Amino acid sequence: MKSFKYLLIAIPFLLASCSKGAETTTTPPETPVEVSVAFSVNVDPGAGNILGVVGTAQAIIVKVSSALPKEGVTILVTVTKDADNSVVFTNTSSSLTADNTVNITGLTPGALSTTTVVVTSKATSSNTKSLSFKLAAK
C-alpha cells in the first residue's frame, strides 16, 4: 500500500514533465562586426608640413589598408583655400578596391589650401575616418 501512495504522488510529476512539447530555441544569426576603416594618402606631408605642388593639379592615391566592407567605401576629397575657406575642389567616389587615385585640380599658385580626405563604409555610416593635410601650388 505504501508503494501505491508513492506511485500516486509521482504520477502527476511524471505527467507534467512529459506533457511539455519539444522546446526549440532559435538564436538570431550573428551580425558580423565591420573592421574600422583605415587608410593613408601617398602624398601626406605629415602634421605641420606643407606639400608643394608644381602646377595647378596633384594626383593623390588613397590607399585603404583595412579590410574593405562588402558594400565598399565612399571617398570624399575636399580642398579649401585657407584664406577664405572657399572650396577649390571636391570629389566623391565609390570604391571596392584598396588603391584609389584622385586627381585634384583647380589649385591656385601661391594659395595655401587644406585637403581633407574622408573614407566612409557604405554599409555602416558611422564607420568613417578622415585625414587632412596642407598643400600649396607653386
Q: Is residue 115 part of a domain?
A: yes
Query: Is residue 15 a part of any domain in this protein?
Result: no
- Residue-wise pLDDT tens digits, 21-31: 556 667 777 66
Domain assignment of residue 17, yes or no: no
- Position 1 in a domain: no
Strands 112-121 and 73-81: what pairing? antiparallel
Residue 21 lies in a domain: no
**Residues 77 and 58: beta-carbon distance below 8 Å:** no
Give the residue numbers spanning the domain of 114: 39-137
Judging by DSSP bridges, how do beta strands 73-81 and 58-64 pair with one another? Answer: unpaired
Residue 96 in domain: yes
Whether 60 is in a domain gets the answer yes
Report pTM. 0.77
Residue 99 within any structural domain of the chain: yes
Per-residue model confidence (pLDDT) at position 33 = 80
Query: Domain holding 132: CATH number?
Result: 2.60.40.2550
What's the number of domains the chain is made of? Answer: 1
pLDDT string in tens for the chain (138-residue length):
566 666 567 666 666 665 555 566 677 776 678 899 999 999 999 888 999 999 999 999 999 999 999 999 999 999 999 999 999 999 999 999 999 999 999 999 999 999 999 999 999 999 999 999 999 998
8 A C-beta contact, residue 120 and residue 128: yes
